[in-house]
């Protein structure tokens, strides 16, 4: 059976040695883990524009800018799923003052119920806790 590959734009937003992360408020850490903003690449969309859009959708803030592209890595989702994610990593930084912790929600363009998130900053040295290969390129920061 062949493995499907999904490309995902993935964003590390960093300030003062801390990484912006979020968790799904409706699920436990054990179910969905701690994540950074990421989303499946939409065909034809500029990757930097997509990275900024994803940051805004998941955090509720537009006061961030993309500062660099860090690289691409693949991560297998086995045994749960027969697919691989190809993460395209970007580094972002705030251009506005952001709180240390806040509630947000993703609207899904009105197609699904709102998804509530809790956003917060963790030390970069704790990035190993990220789910599903999202910590792969933290060492490049």
Nearest-angstrom CA–CA distance, 141 and 128: 14
- Provide the whole-model pTM: 0.88
CA distance 98 to 19: 12
Q: Which CATH class is domain 4-140?
A: alpha beta
Burial class (CB within 10 angstroms; exposed 0-12, middle 13-18, buried 19+) of 35 = middle
Neighbours of 65 (CB within 10 A): 15
pLDDT in 10s for each residue of the chain, 141 residues: 445 678 999 999 999 999 999 999 988 888 888 999 999 998 888 999 999 999 999 999 989 999 999 999 988 765 566 677 889 999 999 999 999 999 999 877 767 888 899 999 999 999 999 987 899 999 999
* CA angle at 70 for the pair 72 and 36, rounded to the nearest 5°: 80
């Amino acid at each position: 059976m062949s493995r499907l590959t999904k490309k995902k734009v993935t964003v590390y937003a960093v300030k003062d040695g801390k990484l912006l992360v979020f968790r799904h408020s409706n699920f436990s850490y054990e179910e969905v883990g701690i994540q950074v903003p990421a989303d499946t690449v939409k065909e034809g969309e500029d990757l930097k524009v997509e990275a900024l859009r994803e940051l805004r959708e998941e955090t509720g803030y537009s006061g961030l800018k993309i500062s660099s592209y860090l690289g691409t890595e693949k991560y297998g989702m086995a045994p749960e799923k027969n697919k691989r994610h190809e993460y395209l990593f970007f580094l972002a930084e705030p251009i506005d003052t952001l709180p240390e912790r806040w509630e947000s929600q993703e609207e899904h363009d009105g197609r699904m119920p709102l998804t509530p998130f809790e956003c917060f900053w963790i030390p970069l040295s704790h990035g190993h806790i990220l789910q599903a290969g999202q910590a792969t390129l933290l060492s490049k920061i």
